[in-house]
Amino acid sequence: MIAIIGLLVGVAVGILWNPVVPLWLEPYLPIAIVAALDAVFGGFRALMEKRFDDRIFAVSFLSNVVIASVLVFLGDQLGVGAQMSTGVVVVLAMRIFANAAAIRRILFRA
Amino acid sequence: MIGALFLLLGLLITVAVIRPEGEDDQWRTARTEDLVQILDDLGSRQQRLEDEAARLVALQRDLETGSTAEALAEAQRRLEALQVLSATTPVSGPGLTITLDDASGRVDSSVLVDAVQELRDAGAEAIQVGDTRVGVSTWFSDGEEGVTVNGQPVGDPIRIMAIGEPETMSAAMSIPGGFAETVRTRGAQFTATPATNMTISVTVPVSAP
């Protein structure tokens, strides 16, 4: 419940405040979102499996975002930024699908 | 804690979704190396256009200050170029003669259209298929007695002559999956003979506009 409220407040703040993202941060924004979504799906799966722990969720959320951004930053420095961000997005998307499949199995037994 | 994280996520998503509505979002989302590539392309394009502009300005100056002889020479040069393009004049020079021995009759008009396209791409100035010069309105079709060009039977073996760089054209013909291979998979013999000097004397008749 608190999660949904947080999400809605975040969206509202984003719309009302409409912050200007610094230019150097822009390439990492989509990566950070996908990484965070991965953590969210992982957390939801843990919730379904009744082993959710908010400390683990918080750590995985933040570390996912940081690691994904650092990887892309490193890729940019090495000159393979585009490939690296594609790779990170592909891997994270695969994990999201895997987690979604697990959630679906528990929710619908299908 | 969880609420704060989700707030952050919502904020991120909102910012990312709203952001592309800016006026120059095409460039905002591009990466540095892509932008460098685009800049390079624009730079070389500008260079080409500047060269072209300089050439045309020089030509204009020549035409304005020069005698009528220079203007005539330029007009003559353009006339010759246009005559070659419109296939209304005989052309001679280095070229390639292609012979297709199509015993099984499986070479159809689309194959010949491909051949003409590939020869043109390879820089052929003038092309003759069978006894017909290929111009802007030449057509190929499949008749009862084989392929026809402008309604004329193309004959057997099919002979294609092209004026242009022989090496470039024969390379274009023999690329994997190219014309030579297509012809061979259809059971015809493909032979290409380069010549240092040959003449295509057939022309497209000029009709009054």
pLDDT tens-digit map of B117-149: 999 998 888 999 888 888 888 888 887 778 888
Contact A26 B8 (CB under 8 A): no
Identify the sign of the CA torsion B90, B91, B97, B100: negative
Mean pLDDT of B153-160: 84
Q: Confirm whether A16 is domain-assigned.
A: no
Q: Is B27 helix (H, G, I), strand (E, B) or coil?
A: helix
**Count of domains forming chain A:** 1
Optimal mutation site among A1, A5, A9, A11, interface B, most CBs of chain B within 10 A:
A11
Query: Which of B7, B8, B12 shows the shortest C-beta gap to A29?
Result: B12
Q: Confirm whether A74 is domain-assigned.
A: yes
Q: Confirm whether A47 is domain-assigned.
A: yes
Tens of pLDDT, residue by residue over B47-103, are 999 999 999 998 888 878 877 777 788 888 888 888 888 888 888 899 999 988 877
Could you tell me the residue range of the domain that residue A40 belongs to?
Answer: 27-108
Contacts of B16 (CB under 8 A, 6+ apart): A29, A30, A33
Q: Confirm whether A6 is domain-assigned.
A: no
Contact A81 B5 (CB under 8 A): no
Q: Confirm whether A10 is domain-assigned.
A: no
**What is the structure's pLDDT at B50?**
96
Q: B184 — phi, psi (to 5°)?
A: -70, -35
Q: Confirm whether A73 is domain-assigned.
A: yes
Concatenated DSSP letters for A19-84? PPPPGGGTTHHHHHHHHHHHHHHHHHHHHHTT---HHHHHHHHHHHHHHHHHHHHHHHHHT-HHHH
Q: Confirm whether A19 is domain-assigned.
A: no
